[in-house]
Amino acid sequence: MRNLIFFMHSSLDGFAAGLKGEMNWTHVDEEMFDFVATLTNNVDIALYGRVTYEMMQSYWPTAGEQPNASKHDKEHSVWYKNVSKIVLSTTISQEGLENTTVISDQLEDNINNIKNQDGKNILIFGSPRASHSLLSYNLIDEFWLFVNPVLLGEGIPLFKNINELTKLKLIETKTFASGVIALHYEKKRN
């Protein structure tokens, strides 16, 4: 059985993005990229909301081929091209998409069917609104929160649509030189 892992940057005051989806306040660097690569090695499905998917598609397929590509760009571009992708959207079509499945309805059943298949884990990157939908069905098994040392005051909340008490267990923490703290929680099993 696969775990669905929530991977999200957060402000200290609990926002996943600014009011217009902006994320220019997040801190990422080589140390974090190397750490995240250890997480993506255990994933064979990347899950996105439409907005994040379109952003990823506009950059990652060719990022590693650019003359000024960093080590991370080269590595993540290869991973992105090879990983199976799922997009939660009611507005884009499956037609013409490579290695990508669009889920537009029956979210709970479709995600549970995928989780029950053999394979590595599923990782949802960013995609706060899609994450809110997954949270409403209690489908997320693990949480990786990258808490940035910034207060936004307003924005898109990290958590929303939680319909039942969900107890978590802290598995590990990692503090980066930038001041970002990664918190890894898993959902407690009954």
- Domain ranges in the chain are 4-22+34-174
Of the two residues 184 and 188, the one the predictor is more confident about is 184
Identify the CATH number of the domain defined by range 4-22+34-174.
3.40.430.10
Taking the CA atoms of the chain, what radius of gyration do you get in angstroms? 16
Tell me what pLDDT residue 140 has. 94
Is the pTM value of this prediction over 0.85?
yes
Percent of the chain with pLDDT over 90: 72
Average pLDDT of every residue of the chain = 92
Q: In the predicted model, what is the mean pLDDT of residues 48-71?
A: 90
Tell me what pLDDT residue 190 has. 65
Q: Burial letters for 25-61: b for 16+ Cβ neighbours within 10 Å, e otherwise?
A: bbebeeebeeebeeebeebebbbbbbbbbebbbeebe
Tell me what pLDDT residue 94 has. 86
